[in-house]
A = this chain, B = another copy of it.
């Protein structure tokens, strides 16, 4: 074999989600689009706000194409970065300028760039289970080692004692993801405060920074106005990885940003390391048209009421059927306990009813599946009789 073995392994395994996504496409083609209930992929079902489409059309009509589609600075167009910085300042009261914003090709790019900017071979990165599977890929690419902190039972909040025990001299960074994929849980302000206190204490103890990376593609997708603490207000050595994939329903356009906390020690140097990491991974600049689009739509958000309706409909019915699940405050996922011996068996049985759900063993918590409810309401309504049958198979339904 003369190619890179680990790249091949990654490519041939693919993520379980992508695998189901491909299966789903084939299955829909075979038996009909509306006969398959695909809850596998976090592909937003709510249309982008009208302002997005208007921005694409008007920018395309108004601007000189060579300007609109030309290279921007590697870190992003200056005016776009200023719009992002001002938005962070206005919303969260953080004193940040364009010099600390780096536009990216979405959340995955943000995270791989940040990890590459910070990590040396063998550094450890703590993630909180359940966690988005690709974290392990990006951490490995940066030469780091993933360390998984177990959650509090049932609530899926952070288990502070477990977390504290995982921090070692080699801990370079911690990734926090709230609202969480796959649990939908939002970490409380108390949890965040406690995490930051522990990190401050441990940083002092080990005599070096421990960075807190907030991966927040789901920030805008929260229900009942629940508060999502902005990490820069709690911890100086923090970096925010943001994406417009969910907030503007633009996942395929790959647009997001990295915001480096200016209050951090050596923040200017770390911003430069981010620039260097982006360069080394082959990111020349974030897509130019969509940089302009998000700047024009900086205060716009996707309508979240359809997601909330879906959540309530699915959560209420599934728990009625006897499935066990934490009620999510954000994102668009239900994290359901497998009533079978393991998550894969549950996934296989659900598949027989054309219900495509994601077994979450790779997410760091065994025995759970993720159900992405970013689908048409009709899909949920039509799927309910099959979820009921599935519950009956497992004898969950109380008569």
Contacts and interface: CB of A to CB of B under 8 A. Distances in A.
Interface of A: 1-12, 14-15, 18, 21-22, 41, 43-48, 52-53, 56-57, 60-61, 64-66, 68-74, 105-106, 108-113, 116-120, 134, 137-138, 140-142, 172, 208-209, 211, 249-254, 266, 269-291
Contact of A11 (B11, B12, B60, B273): B273
A277 B60 contact: no
Nearest to A48: B65
A211 B1 CA distance: 13
A350 B108 CA distance: 42
A140 B282 CA distance: 12
Given A272-B12, A280-B138, A287 B3 contact: no
Contacts of A105: 105, 254, 282-284, 287
A251 B71 contact: yes
B277 A7 contact: yes
Nearest to A118: B3
Contact of A4 (B46, B119, B266, B288): B119
Contact of A10 (B1, B73, B280): B280
12 contacts: A1-B269, A3-B270, A4-B117, A4-B118, A4-B120, A7-B274, A9-B276, A10-B275, A12-B276, A45-B66, A48-B65, A140-B280
Secondary structure dominating the interface of A: helix
Contacts of A252: 68-72, 285, 287-289, 291
A134 to B, nearest CB: 8
Given A3-B269, A266-B1, A11 B69 contact: no
A137 B251 CA distance: 28
A64 to B, nearest CB: 8
A269 B210 CA distance: 39
Given A60-B53, A65-B249, A280 B48 contact: no
Contacts of A251: 69-71, 284
A290 B293 CA distance: 14
Count this chain's copies in the assembly: 2
Contacts of A118: 2-4
Nearest to A243: B284
B141 A73 contact: no
Nearest to A268: B12
Contacts of A6: 276, 280
A56 B68 CA distance: 12
Contacts of A14: 74, 275, 279
A8 B269 contact: yes
A339 B228 CA distance: 62
B47 A7 contact: no
Contacts of A41: 71
Contact of A283 (B57, B108, B269): B108
The 5 residue pairs across chains A and B that have the minimum distance between CB atoms: A252-B288, A11-B276, A10-B276, A112-B282, A11-B275
A275 B286 CA distance: 21
Given A172-B2, A269-B8, A281-B141, A47 B65 contact: yes
A309 B322 CA distance: 74
Nearest to A112: B282
